[in-house]
Chains A and B, each alone.
Chain A
Amino acid sequence: MIAELGHVALTVALMVALLQATVPLWGAARGDTGLTGFARPAALVQFGAVAIAFGALTHAYLVSDFSLVNVASNSHSAKPLIYKLSGVWGNHEGSMLLWVLILALFGAAVAAFGGNLPDGLRARTLAVQAMIGVGFLAFILFTSNPFERLSPAPIDGNGLNPLLQDIGLALHPPMLYLGYVGFSTTFSFAVAALLEGRVDPAWARWVRPWALAAWTMLTAGIALGSGWAYYELGWGGWWFWDPVENASFMPWLAGTALLHSAIVVEKRGALKSWTVLLALVAFSFSLLGTFLVRSGVLTSVHAFAVDPERGMFILGLLAVAIGASFILYAWRAPSMEGGGMFRPISREGGLVLNNLLMSTAAATVLIGTLYPLALETVTGEKVSVGAPYFEATFVPIMVPMILALGVGPLLAWKRGDLAGALGRLWVAALAAVGIGLSVLYLRGAPVGAAIGFGLAVWLAVSVITEWAERVRLFRIPLGQSVARALGLPRSAYGMSLAHLGVAVFIMGAVGETFFSSEVVRFAGPGDRIEIADRTLTFEGVINRNGPNYEAEVGVFVLPSGDRLESERRFYPVEGQRTTEAAIRSRPDADVYAVLGEPAGDGRWTVRIYVKSLVMWLWGGCGLMVLGGLVSLADRRLRVGAPGPRRASWRPAHAGVGDAD
């Protein structure tokens, strides 16, 4: 009964979305505020209806209602409660419902917090948001109904893939979706602006918080996914350049470019059509990702069930949404140029460089992801483009990026002084070269590692220098510096934190890549395993049962007395095995132990890794997310804040606080 209620609620949501997609547009075209006013309540009702549907499916999972195909195929009564809950989005239908829920949530958020938006822009934005909703609600109702019944109902369910029974999966998809569905909002704003034929600094200021929010959550979502791969897949990798990872990474790159180019629109009124294009592209990448995951055209660890019909439906949606928006773009964008002029060496110039490099990086990833598909279509040959391609193309793009990232924030708007900026960065340059050389000669590390660490240090010291310049540290009395530091806008701190996060992340990535070691061997109880100046003692294997699995636990002891317990789990319901790595994290390195197969003579295959600086990877991502949050908390950017000051969009403290 509750499931049917959910189905009805979805249908209602589709109807409301249809109205929301049309009525406000008509109203905006005729200047009828009665009709445009329909958009806000409609967005809230649509969200309410989708929330009811989502609640109904969640209920079915919690009470293990196996009369639903979806629940029977993906859940089991013996599963722990948290995984019954996360099972709701651990499958195609449920995750689509989550997708639509978040889409509607963003629509409702624009309706709720967009009180200060001009009536027409808000109505059009919400109408576009609803159009996307119509497409995806129809997709769910016609091809992926999560409320389909199964008769007769089985006594128990099929269980959830044990790899997915993990706290990482409980959090990763919702966070990731918040991120990449979040870009639907900037997409809707961009289409609305194209419909109005007007992009101005005020528009950029309304869009930026949404872009920032989506970016922040996408960063967190990708980091969670990466972390899940690191500890759950059991071989210590954290990024595989898997097509689906790339699918989440491309919107991130486009979104990062968007965040930065929107600043130029906001501050200087330039780069308008480019910014609009980025807003369209960021969400197009999200749609492409959704398609790649669900159509099964690419093979991936993440792919859902292959179903050509669903694939065609999403491709159709993608073609209509992106195609229509780009037609609109080709029609309207040429007339929206103008704005402030600037020299190549200037803050704007730096942001343009950022945009060029980010877009190139996104294109590189796109080509690498789709190339196997194109080649197979043309020649029928199956190839796999792996990490070597991405490392050879993506990494070189990041080198100039990081170099420029250190300088950019020190340049002035309009016309910057490169020599002056570089002059102020002598400490950073010295530190970078010093670290690079010492890594090279003292540790005998490869050149790549030296360059990587050098870049990270360059960036970190540059960020600190920029902050010190702002508060005029050591040039004026300390008390005044502190006062200045407290007076800096949060968006400035947000920028510094995020950029610092990039530096910390690079430290981690370089450390993990170049300084990790690995030992694979047979070990019996009492054996000592030497790795990277450490000695582990293998104590043997004991049996231990979990709530829905049986486990063999391999116990390793470090000299410090720390115990690492790696499990080999067998899930009888699903008939599958998983391996749980045991990880002891420290700032210098993680010790990562995995119990493998028994050798038959009382010994076991064990794999031990020492992974350098892995904590820095997560720390770097954490800093980027923190930077996003701090920046979002800036009074000036707070959602809805712009309102009354619409006419005077230029920020009051244009001289100091404009570096976000």
Chain B
Amino acid sequence: MRRLLFLLPLAVVLALVGALAWPILEGRDPRALPSVLLDKPVPAFDLPGLAADTGGLHSDELSGRPVLVNVFASWCAPCRQEIPLLVQLSAEGVPIYGIAYKDEPAATRKFLAQLGDPYRGVGVDRDGRIAIEFGVYGVPETYVIDGAGRIRHRHVGAVTEDVARRTLLPLLEELSK
């Protein structure tokens, strides 16, 4: 009986570890910030392109099929980190559109020339107005838009291999059905 008492701390620890492991194993993100615009249509916008001769980005381009919209900036290190993965996804056929957030077009061009350009189209959001309409907290953020042009998911922070394979791609696939 007395021995059992000395096992008590161990039991508490085991229960604790189990309780702590659960959310991680479930892949739950406590900081998931569901977009206020979830399931709402993307805000209407018409952004200029990176150079005078390249097209910009119009909100109509985002509907028709499920796409990713990535809000990025050349001055942000996590963006730099996620670009190679986005380039790879793009090569696999995932349509990705970019919104260059509060950035010099020249700096954005250099950034994409250096690291690769994963975007089907890039709109320049110099003053960050459109990003605000999306509800952007900070860059990078990535949105999943369905075929009807509605925002279906929002990811805050750099896209990692894990996030792409476990969340974004399955969702895109489901939406294309």
Contacts and interface: CB of A to CB of B under 8 A. Distances in A.
Interface of A: 69, 72-73, 150, 152, 154, 157-158, 273, 277, 280-281, 284, 288, 291, 295-299, 303, 305-306, 308-309, 311-312, 315, 318-319, 322-323, 326-327, 329-330, 333-334, 370, 373-374, 376-377, 573, 575
A280 B9 CA distance: 10
Contacts of A374: 19
B160 to A, nearest CB: 8
B162 A308 contact: yes
Contact of A73 (B16, B19, B77): B77
Nearest to B102: A575
Contact of B6 (A311, A333, A376, A377): A333
Contacts of A575: 102
B45 to A, nearest CB: 21
Given A154-B77, A296-B30, A299-B31, A312 B24 contact: yes
Contacts of B29: 296, 306
A402 to B, nearest CB: 28
Contacts of B148: none
A315 B17 contact: yes
23 contacts: A152-B115, A157-B77, A158-B77, A280-B9, A281-B9, A288-B16, A295-B24, A303-B31, A308-B24, A309-B162, A311-B24, A312-B21, A322-B13, A326-B10, A326-B13, A330-B7, A334-B2, A370-B16, A370-B20, A373-B23, A376-B23, A376-B28, A575-B102
Contacts of A327: 10
A373 B21 CA distance: 11
A298 B24 contact: no
B132 interface: no
B81 A158 contact: no
Nearest to B8: A330
A297 B30 contact: yes
Contacts of B58: none
A73 B139 CA distance: 13
A54 B161 CA distance: 29
B56 to A, nearest CB: 23
Nearest to B160: A307
Contact of B14 (A306, A312, A323): A323
Q: Which of A308, A318, A373 has the most CB of B within 10 A?
A: A308
Contacts, number: 94
A305 B163 CA distance: 14
Contact of B10 (A158, A323, A370, A573): A323
What size tier do the contact residues of chain B reach? 20 to 34
B133 to A, nearest CB: 18
B126 interface: no
Contact of A297 (B3, B7, B20): B20
Given A157-B77, A299-B31, A323 B13 contact: yes
Given A374-B19, A376-B23, A330 B77 contact: no
B20 A373 contact: yes
B78 interface: yes
Nearest to A72: B77
Interface string B1-41: 01100110110011011011111110111110000000000
A330 B23 contact: no
- Secondary structure of the B contact surface, majority rule: helix
Closest 4 CB pairs of A and B: A326-B10, A73-B77, A158-B77, A330-B6
Contacts of B114: 152
B24 A297 contact: yes
Nearest to A156: B75
B76 interface: yes
Given A158-B77, A281-B9, A330 B3 contact: yes
Contacts of A291: 20
Nearest to A288: B16
A112 to B, nearest CB: 32
B9 A277 contact: yes
Contact of B9 (A318, A326, A370, A377): A326
A297 B21 CA distance: 9
A319 B17 contact: yes
A69 B79 CA distance: 12
Contacts of A297: 20, 23-24, 30
A462 to B, nearest CB: 34
Contacts of A373: 19-20, 23
A382 to B, nearest CB: 8
A334 B6 contact: yes
B15 to A, nearest CB: 10
A330 B10 contact: yes
A329 B24 contact: no
A305 B2 CA distance: 44
A276 B114 CA distance: 58
A154 B110 CA distance: 11
Nearest to A321: B13
A1 B102 CA distance: 35
Interface in B113-166: 114-115, 157, 162
Given A373-B23, A376-B30, 14 more contacts: A152-B114, A154-B77, A273-B6, A291-B20, A296-B31, A297-B24, A299-B31, A306-B30, A306-B157, A308-B162, A315-B21, A330-B6, A334-B3, A376-B28
A281 B19 CA distance: 18
B23 A315 contact: no
A398 to B, nearest CB: 24
A73 B30 contact: no
Nearest to A573: B75
B69 to A, nearest CB: 20
A308 B27 contact: yes
